[in-house]
Amino acid sequence: MKIRQLLIALLLLTCLPQFAGAGAEDKMPIVATTTQAADLMQVLTADVDGILLTPLMGPGVDPHLYQPTESDIVAMNQAQMVIYSGLHLEGQFDAVFKALSEQGIATYALSAPVKDAGFIIGGFDLSDALLDVDDPHFWFDPRNWQLTAQDLADRLSEFDPPNAEAYQANAAAYIEQLDLLYAWADAGMRSIEEGQRYLVTSHDAFQYFGAAFGWRMRAIQGLSTEDEAGVGDIQATVDFVIANDIPVLFVESSIPPDTVEAVMEALRAQGRSARIGLRELFGDAMGESDSFGGTYIGMLAQNALTIMQSYRCMGLEVDILEWPADLEPKPPDELWNVDCDA
Ligand SMILES: [Zn+2]
pLDDT of residue 230: 83
Beta-sheet pairing, 130-134 with 122-124: antiparallel
pLDDT at residue 157 is higher than 90: yes
| pLDDT computed for residue 342 by the predictor | 72
Percent of the chain with pLDDT over 70: 90
pLDDT at 127: 42
Residue 168 C-alpha to ligand 1 middle, in angstroms? 30
pLDDT at 9: 44
CB 253 within 8 A of CB 287: yes
Residue 218 CA to ligand 1 center (angstroms) comes to 13
**Domain 2-134 maps to which CATH number in 3.40.50.1980, 3.40.50.300, 2.60.220.30, 2.60.120.260?**
3.40.50.1980
Q: How confident is the model at residue 22 (pLDDT cuts 50, 70, 90)?
A: very low
CA distance 119 to 228: 27
CB 97 within 8 A of CB 73: no
Please state which of the ranges 40-49, 132-141, 161-170, 222-231 shows the lowest mean pLDDT.
222-231
Name which residue leads in pLDDT, 11 or 312.
312
SS3 64: coil
Distance in Å, CA 5 to ligand 1 centroid: 33
Cis peptide before 55 (omega within 30 of 0): no
* 186-234 residue pLDDT tens: 999 999 999 999 999 988 899 999 999 999 998 888 777 777 778 888 9
Listed in sequence order, the residues at least 6 apart from 143 whose beta carbon sits closer than 8 Å to its beta carbon are 119, 178, 182, 212
Pairing verdict, β 130-134 and 51-55: unpaired
From-to residues of CATH 3.40.50.1980 in the chain:
2-134, 181-336
Ligand 1 is an ion; its neighbours by CB within 5 Å are 205, 284
Nearest to 184 by CA among 332, 331, 337, 339: 331
Cα of 31 vs centre of ligand 1, distance in Å, is 21
Closest CA to 200 of 228, 155, 238, 167: 238
Query: What is the residue-averaged pLDDT of the chain?
Result: 89
Stretch 12-38: mean pLDDT, rounded?
69
Q: How far is the CA of 205 from the centre of ligand 1 (A)?
A: 5
Question: What pLDDT does residue 169 have?
Answer: 98
Name the residue type at position 139. Answer: W
| DSSP secondary structure letter of residue 79 | -
CA of 16 to the centre of ligand 1 (A): 33
Within 10 angstroms of residue 65's Cβ, the number of other Cβ atoms is: 15
Q: What are the CB-based long-range contacts (under 8 Å, 24+) for 7-12?
A: 8/73, 8/74, 8/77, 11/70, 11/73, 11/74, 11/77, 12/74, 12/77, 12/78
Predicted confidence at residue 132, as pLDDT, reads 60
Task: Tell me which of 3-7, 36-40, 300-304, 321-325 is least confident.
Answer: 3-7
Rounded to a whole number, what is the distance in angstroms from the first to the last CA of the chain?
58
Q: How far is the CA of 101 from the centre of ligand 1 (A)?
A: 24
Rounded Cα distance, 79 and 19, in Å: 11
**Burial (CB count <10 Å: 0-12, 13-18, 19+), residue 36:** buried
Lowest-confidence segment of 26-40, 71-85, 131-145, 204-218 by average pLDDT: 131-145
Q: How far apart are CA 135 and CA 205, in angstroms?
A: 8
Q: How far apart are CA 283 and CA 252, in angstroms?
A: 5
pLDDT of residue 124: 54
pLDDT at 20: 40
DSSP per residue over 224-276, as a string?
STTSPP-HHHHHHHHHHHHHTT--EE--BTTS-THHHHHHHHHHHHTT---EE
Q: Would you state the pLDDT for residue 254?
A: 83
Residue 183 CA, ligand 1 centroid: distance in Å: 25
Q: Give domain 181-336's CATH superfamily.
A: Nitrogenase molybdenum iron protein domain (3.40.50.1980)
- What whole-number distance in Å separates Cα of residue 141 and Cα of residue 85? 14
For range 308-333, the mean pLDDT: 97
Residue 4 confidence (pLDDT) above 60: no
pLDDT tens for 43-101 read: 999 999 999 999 999 998 999 999 999 999 999 999 999 999 999 999 999 999 999 99
